[in-house]
């Protein structure tokens, strides 16, 4: 069922892209106007977005990496306030914590096992991810903006060590883990594909500087280097206020313990 939904979302993505590429040159030049004008579009006044997501979590560095690969249904809320003029500001906020809570509860009700009994890795948000930028390059088709982000990341792993018969010998949760706050560089890129479709992307790099909370079941090492994070986002926004896209988040582990947690979300949403 999950794989079928991924295929459906990707099919919608490519159908809209194909339709966009077939537009005239004049439509390319004018295409971004709808998405930034003050009234009736999704620009200066800002909009909220709600998206369902097919989310895959993985940790290739885990001793038993297969147990750390999980695909689930979740959701994301976001807020965008973009302007098109050179030098003007923009802001993009997103949060996945509520959707992830429901996904975890649904998984536990289905499997009838405890949350703390499962082997796996996770990366999510608490308050959310926020990037601000200022337009530094504006053309008929494209806008480039640069700025900064203030993000939080919830990360954690649980490793099981088993005997030759599959029985659990021990379990542990080590660094990096907990709730991290950080900041770093954000780069926005928008490209008008047509009057109906525009591509909006965000690349952000976050260096964490504070961990206010550790996981209750983790082995805490306060001297362990704080991780950094990479976040990539790309969305096709349409004049119908529907959008499709993806989020990719990756933990950059600066220590020597095995943790390379990453997350990919395939999104299908609507803007209000």
Model pLDDT for residues 155-201, shown as the tens digit of each residue: 999 888 766 666 666 678 899 999 999 999 999 999 988 888 899 99
According to the model, what pLDDT value does residue 99 have?
Answer: 82
Residue 6, burial from CB neighbour count under 10 angstroms (0-12, 13-18, 19+):
middle
Q: Which residue's structure tokens are 């159908």?
A: 15
Model pLDDT for residues 9-27, shown as the tens digit of each residue: 555 555 555 554 444 445 5
Structural domain tally of the chain? 1
Is the model's pLDDT at 233 over the cut of 80?
yes
Is the model's pLDDT at 91 over the cut of 90?
yes
Q: What is the mean pLDDT of residues 109-128?
A: 72
Structural domain boundaries, residue 34 = 2-271
Question: What is the average pLDDT value for the chain, to the nearest integer?
Answer: 83
Is the model's pLDDT at 34 over the cut of 70?
no
Q: Residue 114 maps to which CATH number?
A: 2.40.128.100
According to the model, what pLDDT value does residue 114 have?
Answer: 46
Confidence class for position 46, pLDDT limits 50, 70, 90 = confident
Half-sphere exposure of 55 (CA within 13 A, CB side): 25
Distance (Å, whole) CA 53 – CA 72: 8
CB 63 within 8 A of CB 160: no
Q: What is the mean pLDDT of residues 231-240?
A: 94
| Percentage of the chain modeled with pLDDT above 90 | 54
Residue 60: name the closest of 263, 246, 265, 247 by CA. Answer: 263
């Amino acid at each position: 069922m999950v794989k079928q939904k991924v295929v459906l979302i990707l099919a919608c993505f490519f159908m809209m892209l194909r339709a966009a590429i077939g537009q005239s040159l004049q439509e390319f030049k004018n295409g971004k106007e709808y998405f930034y004008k003050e009234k009736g579009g999704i620009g200066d006044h800002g909009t909220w977005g709600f998206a369902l997501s097919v989310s895959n979590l993985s940790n290739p560095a885990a001793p038993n990496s297969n147990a750390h690969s999980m695909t689930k249904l979740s959701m994301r809320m976001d807020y965008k306030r973009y302007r098109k003029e050179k030098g003007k500001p923009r802001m993009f906020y997103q949060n996945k914590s509520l959707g992830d809570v429901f996904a975890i509860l649904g998984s536990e009700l289905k499997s009838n096992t405890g949350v703390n009994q499962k082997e796996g890795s996770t990366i999510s948000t608490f308050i959310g991810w926020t990037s601000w930028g200022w337009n530094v390059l504006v053309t008929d088709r494209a806008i480039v903006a640069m700025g900064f982000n203030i993000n939080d990341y919830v990360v954690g792993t649980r490793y099981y060590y088993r005997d030759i018969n599959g029985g659990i010998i021990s379990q542990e949760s080590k660094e990096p883990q907990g709730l991290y706050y950080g900041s770093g560089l954000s780069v926005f890129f928008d490209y008008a594909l047509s009057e109906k479709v525009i591509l909006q992307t965000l690349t952000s790099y976050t260096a964490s500087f504070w961990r206010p909370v550790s996981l209750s079941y983790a082995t805490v090492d306060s001297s362990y280097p704080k991780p950094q994070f990479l976040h990539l986002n790309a969305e096709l926004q349409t004049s119908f206020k529907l959008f499709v896209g993806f989020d990719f988040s990756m933990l950059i582990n600066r220590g020597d313990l095995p943790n390379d947690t990453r997350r990919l979300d395939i999104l299908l949403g609507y803007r209000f």
